[in-house]
Amino acid sequence: MKISEIYVYPIKSLRPAQLSEAVATKHGFANDRRFMLLKAMPEGYKNMAVCHFPEMTLFLTKIVFPEQDEGEKGSVVVEFRAPGHTESKMLKIPLQPDTTNLELFEVSIHRSTTQAFKMPAEYSLWFSECFGYDVILAYLGDNLRSVLFEDMKPAKGNSWLSTISNTILGSAGPEEARITFADCAPYLLASKTSLVDVSSRLPEGEEMDVTKFRPNIVIEGAEEAWEEDYWGKIEIDGAELTLAHNCIRCKSINIDYTTGLPGTGESGSVLKKLQKDRRVDKGAKWSAVFGRYSFWNSKNRDTTFRVGDEVTVTQRNPERTTWSWKGLG
């Protein structure tokens, strides 16, 4: 098998930047989900995600790396395309902002809390004008969040599950598994073979857009759909990833990216179609599964993954993993 696509999401829940290569670290791809948007509310701020704010899909992103940025330090370029308008609006955000004078505040995603910086007002104002309501742009900086899967704690014994936990966490304890603004894990892997299975549920001529599943790495060449359910470890260019959990799905995969609204017709009911036979995780029995949450094996150093890199399954689990993030799923 091999990597067919790489996606990085510089701003959580906006459209991704598709790259030919990306630096892989134990906390995810460099520049992945280091920014996020929150809606200003009377009582504080509300996290913005596609399932509740489908209009976020109207924002496209591009990463301009320092060597491409004419002497600058790199940037995230955001393009807003409003339905029915021929012109788009553009915004350029520093890839690694100076946080010296920025205000810190608390952000909690799925009960995993961290400190983040409020970006200067000019950036939040641009987004507010596009959305039509007040939002703020937050930057993570060097802060990270805890992974709250119950089973991802150093475990004793010789079971395949305890082996997974100890591989991810090593002897340093659960603080080793740390993530950015990503929902639950540093990486999300998807199989192109399984994507074909999803597309087969749509009318002839329609194909499912893989970016609606928000993967970081898309793998092609699996012999059968859904065989990734049982992958325990994979190796890419000498680096090892542990596939610790399934990714459970919500209504965000039904959104029409051209309108920023819930989809209509067959493409607007993909979640329902998957719920018929993809509720395969006994820890989240009402949720459809697509993709695998994956963690960096801590013995490996940062490396660069490239489209075309060979992917090898080095461990298969005897049964599917079980969802264990309390209050989610």
Residue for token pair 């995780």: 281
Question: How is domain 2-23+146-316 classified at the architecture level of CATH?
Answer: Beta Barrel (2.40)
Average pLDDT, the chain: 93
- Check: CB of residue 232 under 8 Å from CB of residue 315: yes
Question: Mean pLDDT lowest for which of 155-169, 218-232, 238-252?
Answer: 155-169
Residue 173 clears pLDDT 50, i.e. is over it = no
Average pLDDT over residues 118-147: 97
The number of angstroms, rounded, from the C-alpha of 316 to the middle of its chain's C-alpha atoms is: 23
What pLDDT sits at residue 165? 57
Task: For residue 174, name the pLDDT band (cuts at 50, 70, 90).
Answer: very low
User: Is the confidence at residue 236, as pLDDT, over 60?
Assistant: yes
pLDDT at 67: 87
Q: CA 329, CA 278: separation in Å to the nearest integer? A: 14
Res. 90 pLDDT band, cuts 50 70 90: very high
Q: Are 50 and 260 contacting, i.e. CB atoms less than 8 angstroms apart? A: no
The predicted pLDDT at position 122 comes to 98
Domain ranges (residues) in the chain: 2-23+146-316, 35-145
168 or 16, higher pLDDT: 16
Cα 179 to Cα 185: distance, rounded to the nearest angstrom: 6
At a CB cut-off of 8 Å and minimum separation 6, what does 116 contact?
Answer: 36, 104, 105, 106, 107, 138, 139, 140, 141, 143
What phi and psi, each to the nearest 5 degrees, are found at residue 235? -125, 135
Q: Is the pLDDT of residue 153 over 50?
A: yes
The whole-number average pLDDT for the span 247-254 is: 97
What pLDDT does 139 receive?
98
Q: Which residue did the predictor score with more confidence, 161 or 84? A: 84
Confidence of residue 172 (pLDDT cuts 50, 70, 90): very low
pLDDT-derived band at 154 (thresholds 50, 70, 90) equals low
Residue 283 has pLDDT above 70, yes or no: yes
Predicted confidence at residue 155, as pLDDT, reads 58
Query: Tens of pLDDT along 53-82?
Result: 999 999 999 999 998 877 679 999 999 999
Q: Tell me: pLDDT of 251 over 80.
A: yes
Mean pLDDT of 268-281: 98
Q: Which residues contact 297 (CB under 8 A, 6 or more apart)?
A: 167, 168, 233, 239, 240, 241, 242
What is the mean predicted confidence (pLDDT) over 184-210?
Answer: 97
Q: Which pLDDT does position 164 carry in this prediction?
A: 58
Residue 327 vs residue 144, higher pLDDT = 144
d(CA 67, CA 58): 28
> pLDDT tens digit string along 37-55?
999 999 999 999 999 999 9
At 86, the pLDDT band (50, 70, 90 cuts) reads confident
Between the CA of residue 298 and those of 171, 240, 302, 306, what are the distances in Å? 10, 9, 10, 20
Q: What is the pLDDT of residue 84?
A: 84
Residue 298 has pLDDT above 70, yes or no: no
Per-residue pLDDT, 168: 57
Q: How far apart are the first and last CA of the chain?
A: 30
> What whole-number distance in Å separates Cα of residue 220 and Cα of residue 2?
6
CA 218, 223, 229, 230 torsion: positive or negative?
negative
Residue closest to 170 by CA, chosen among 292, 29, 36, 299: 299
Q: How far apart are CA 36 and CA 124, in angstroms?
A: 11
> What pLDDT score does 103 carry?
97
Residue percentage of the chain with pLDDT more than 90: 85
Region class of 221: left (phi > 0), else alpha (psi between -120 and 50), else beta = left
